[in-house]
Chains A and B, each alone.
Chain A
Amino acid sequence: MTESEILPQLVAILKDLSPSTQVLAGQTERTLESMGFDSLDVSGLLLKLEERYDISISEEEAENLQTLGDFAASIAAKKAG
Chain B
Amino acid sequence: MTTFIRAIGVYLPSARIDNLDRAAGFGASETFVREKLGPLQLAIKAPEEETSDLAVQAVRNIDAPDFDLAAVDGLIVCTQNPDGHGLPHTSAIVHAKLGLSGECAAFDISLGCSGFVYGLALARSFAQTYGLRNVLLVTADPYSKVVEAGDRETAMLFGDGATASWLARDRGGGEWAIGPAKFATSGKGARYLHVNDEGHLRMKGREIFTFAAVEAPKQIDALLVQEGLGRGDIDCYLLHQGSRYIVDTIRDRMGLAPDRVPVELTDYGNTISSSIPMLLANRLSDPDLRKLVLCGFGVGLSMASMILERK
> Which residues A38-81 have CB closer than 8 A to chain B?
38-44, 46-47, 59, 62
* B183 at the A interface (CB under 8 A): no
- The count of residues in chain B whose C-beta lies closer than 8 Å to any C-beta of chain A is 16
By a CB distance below 8 angstroms, the chain B residues around A43 are: 205-206, 209-210
* B151 at the A interface (CB under 8 A): no
Interface string of B239-257 (1 = CB under 8 A from A): 0000101000100000000
Instruction: Choose from A42, A44, A46 the contact partner of B249 (Cβ within 8 Å).
Output: A44
Give how many A-B residue pairs fall within 8 Å (CB-CB). 32
CB atoms of B209 and A47 under 8 A apart: yes
Instruction: Choose from B36, B207, B209, B213 the contact partner of A59 (Cβ within 8 Å).
Output: B207
Shortest distance from the beta carbon of A39 to any chain B beta carbon, whole Å: 7
CB atoms of B36 and A38 under 8 A apart: yes
Tell me which of B205, B210, B243 has the highest count of chain A C-beta atoms within 10 A of its own C-beta: B210
* B204 at the A interface (CB under 8 A): yes
Shortest distance from the beta carbon of A74 to any chain B beta carbon, whole Å: 15
- The count of residues in chain A whose C-beta lies closer than 8 Å to any C-beta of chain B is 11
CB atoms of A46 and B206 under 8 A apart: yes
CB atoms of B204 and A59 under 8 A apart: yes
| In the complex, residue of chain B having the shortest beta-carbon distance to the beta carbon of A44 | B249
By a CB distance below 8 angstroms, the chain A residues around B207 are: 59
Shortest distance from the beta carbon of B74 to any chain A beta carbon, whole Å: 40
Bound complex: CA A44 to CA B243 (Å): 13
CB atoms of A47 and B245 under 8 A apart: no
By a CB distance below 8 angstroms, the chain B residues around A46 are: 206, 210
| In the complex, residue of chain A having the shortest beta-carbon distance to the beta carbon of B209 | A43
CB atoms of A47 and B32 under 8 A apart: no
List 5 A-B pairs, minimum CB-CB distance, nearest first: A43-B206, A43-B209, A40-B245, A40-B36, A38-B32
